């Protein structure tokens, strides 16, 4: 399995159709939130003190938020690449990904737009499993992630490597719907949910940080909900 994933693959990736267009007014409005500090309460906490982070409200549905573009990623065309400062670069098809050891995680998620949802059940492949295969080099201190819609975000290596993190293909016992990031999304539950990119296709290990879409538009580089790290 691992040998197949590391084999030389064709240079070209399958064409992925996109629907919609970037909601520029929404992007500009959220940049305005960053400039004015909208939603900030000025309080901090810890997960041990308060399950619900400052300024958040509980929801029971699963809100859909994106940039306005949703890629139509056929499972047969999906690829995941782990590259950069790794000993063994990976390029996985969905069949190879699904053949890896599977894991389940139950966690809360917290969106920077102020909603939180408790007790989400995800199935997928633990980040730790992929790290064992790719073997990041000692000088890898950050990861930069890219999605099929062009979205990007970044994580420090210590935030990416946490045991609870998962590349999820299912939520609540069913395959992830397109609107929620299917076929595969990253789930990093200890940070605001913009750090858990939908439709993920590339994870690059880096020596220097590379801020992503929202980070260069005024949002915090880390995004700890209990420290209210909404904006940078």
Chain center to CA of 110: 13
For every residue of 92-136, DSSP letters joined together read EEHHHHHTSPPEEEEEEEE-TTSEEEEEEEEEEEEHHHHHHHH-B
Q: What is the overall mean pLDDT for the chain?
A: 93
Say how far apart CA 194 and CA 182 lie, in whole Å: 15
Could you tell me the two tokens for 174? 């069913």
Owner of token pair 């790719």: 134
The gap between the terminal CA atoms of the chain, to the nearest Å, is 42
pTM listed for this prediction = 0.92
Say how far apart CA 183 and CA 170 lie, in whole Å: 8
Residue 136: Cβ-neighbour burial (10 angstroms; 0-12, 13-18, 19+):
buried
Q: What pLDDT is stored for residue 172 in this prediction?
A: 97
- The 10s digit of each residue's pLDDT in 50-89 is 999 999 999 999 999 888 889 999 999 999 999 999 999 9
For 45-227, the fitting CATH number among 3.10.310.30, 1.10.3720.10, 3.90.420.10, 1.10.260.40 is: 3.90.420.10
Whether pLDDT at 199 is above 80: yes
Whether pLDDT at 1 is above 70: no
Owner of token pair 């209990």: 226
- The 10s digit of each residue's pLDDT in 105-158 is 999 999 999 999 999 999 999 999 999 999 999 999 999 999 999 999 999 999
Domain residue extents for the chain: 45-227
Owner of token pair 């809360």: 108
Could you tell me the two tokens for 53? 């982070």
């Amino acid at each position: 399995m691992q040998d197949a994933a590391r084999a030389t693959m064709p240079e070209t990736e399958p064409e992925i159709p996109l629907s919609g267009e970037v909601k520029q007014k929404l992007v500009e409005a959220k940049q305005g939130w960053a400039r004015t500090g909208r939603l900030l309460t000025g309080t901090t906490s810890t997960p041990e003190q308060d399950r619900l982070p400052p300024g958040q409200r509980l929801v029971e549905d699963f809100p859909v938020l994106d940039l306005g573009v949703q890629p139509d990623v056929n499972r047969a065309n999906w690829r995941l690449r782990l590259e950069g400062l790794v000993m063994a670069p990976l390029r996985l098809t969905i069949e190879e990904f699904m053949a890896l050891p599977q894991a389940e995680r139950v966690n809360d998620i917290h969106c920077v737009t102020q909603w939180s949802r408790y007790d989400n059940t995800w199935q997928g492949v633990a980040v730790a499993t992929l790290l064992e295969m790719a073997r990041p080099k000692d000088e890898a201190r950050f990861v930069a992630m890219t999605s099929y819609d062009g979205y990007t975000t970044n994580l420090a290596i210590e935030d990416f490597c946490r045991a609870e993190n998962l590349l999820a293909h299912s939520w609540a016992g069913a395959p992830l719907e397109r609107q929620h990031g299917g076929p595969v999304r990253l789930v990093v539950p200890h940070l605001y949910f913009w750090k858990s990119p939908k439709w993920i296709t590339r994870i690059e290990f880096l020596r220097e940080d590379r801020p992503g879409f929202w980070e260069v538009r005024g949002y915090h580089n880390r995004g700890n909900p209990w420290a209210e790290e909404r904006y940078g």
